[in-house]
Amino acid sequence: MKKLIPIFLALITLFGVAGCSARTTSTSTTSTTTTTAVDDTVIKYAKGFTIENLGNGIKKVTDGEKQTLILVPAGKTVPSQYADAAQISIPIKSSVILASTFAALMRPLGVMNTVVGSGTNENELYIDELKAQYANGTTKYVGGGGMGAPDYEAITALKPDVVFCSTGYPDAVTFYQKMESLGLHVVVINDFLENDALARLEWMKVIAAFYQKDTVAQNYFNTVEKNINATVAKVANVSTKPNVMWGSIFMGAVYVSGADSYTAKWVAQAGGSYAFSDLPGSGSATINLEELYARGKTANIFIYSSTPPYVNSIKEITDANTVLADLTVLQYGKIYCMQPWFYQISDKPDEVVADLAYIFHPDLFPGYQLKDFMLLPAQ
């Protein structure tokens, strides 16, 4: 059972299971490509936050809990209408992060050295900068791993300028409220509630605002978006699109994503046809093994949404789910899983799309090497 639990947690992260947020009416919102410009901040995909420039470098941020936070550079005076709002001096010098995705969003900003506390166990980290800081003692583990409560005493002792957390499941709201009651500046980053990978990446702009790294964030975001668009253009005129299954099996139940999910969008961007495009919504859907088998008869590729060591071979899958054993996609070995670091690369959706495009259309990408997926061995 210990081996199975991380798979289920990964599924929650991947699909955004319905009903996991106590403060929102749905687990995700529909992204569009409508651009909202607020002075020097452009919000193109994300729906869960706003950033407004109030002049003199002062910014008004509305976070994932709809808090109004006024970010004030040294020596600047807050406009009178915001005198009673929560104010935070910027750039901040230290932070605690309670999700590994936040570290990924910080990576392009060059501010990892300010992270004094993290809620991710060192042995579960694949972000080199943060691992090095654990090793030299500049970053402390503050609990909260496995969706548990953080160590409030440890966080308070670190005296961070800001604690970045999420409130995407009921207990997390309690954790957030507790930290606020202790007088900590708590900023809610609900990146995973977005149903578009670029929308998730765009939450880096919230973090960047606290470090006065807005231009760095915008430039990085533009580069990633440009890279994705280049891959989309390269596969746009393919004559055949492979039929792609994407999901994972947990205790006999099959977890897949709806047609409006970011995984379905990845398949489309990379030139594939999504096998579950008839399932509505952007969150997770559960089907049984028999339905997976029926759909799998015409599948060309299976992206198994788990990572080693929780899935290691095709044989593991077929031994546990014998009904799938004679599917062509399994017999011919066209099944891929994620690399162990997959859930810590939210800053690299362009790599994901490029990997998938190569998997779907290898002839278009001679010499390409997979970065974030791997072909599962037979045994």
Q: Which domains occur in the chain, in start order?
A: 44-226 (3.40.50.1980), 236-375 (3.40.50.1980)
Nearest residue to 321 (alpha-carbon basis) of 288, 295, 275? 288
Phi/psi class of residue 300: alpha, beta or left (left: φ > 0; alpha: ψ in -120 to 50)? Answer: alpha
Task: Give the span between the Cα atoms of 328 and 308, in whole angstroms.
Answer: 23
Q: 137: which 2 tokens?
A: 């003692």
With a CB cutoff of 8 Å and minimum separation 6, the contacts of 189 are: 63, 64, 99, 102, 105, 164, 165, 166, 203, 206, 207
* Stated pTM of the model: 0.89
Specify the pLDDT at position 145. 76
* Under-50 pLDDT residues of the chain: 1-38
Are the beta carbons of 208 and 217 closer than 8 angstroms? Answer: yes
Phi/psi class of residue 188: alpha, beta or left (left: φ > 0; alpha: ψ in -120 to 50)? Answer: beta
Instruction: Using DSSP bridges, classify how beta strands 335-338 and 284-288 pair: parallel, antiparallel or unpaired.
Output: unpaired
CA geometry: angle 354, 360, 362, nearest 5 deg: 80
The Cβ of residue 152 has, within 10 Å, a number of other Cβ atoms equal to 16
Q: Which residues pair with 69 in a beta bridge?
A: 61, 86
Nearest residue to 144 (alpha-carbon basis) of 126, 171, 111? 171
Nearest residue to 142 (alpha-carbon basis) of 158, 128, 131, 130? 158
Residue with tokens 């499941």: 169
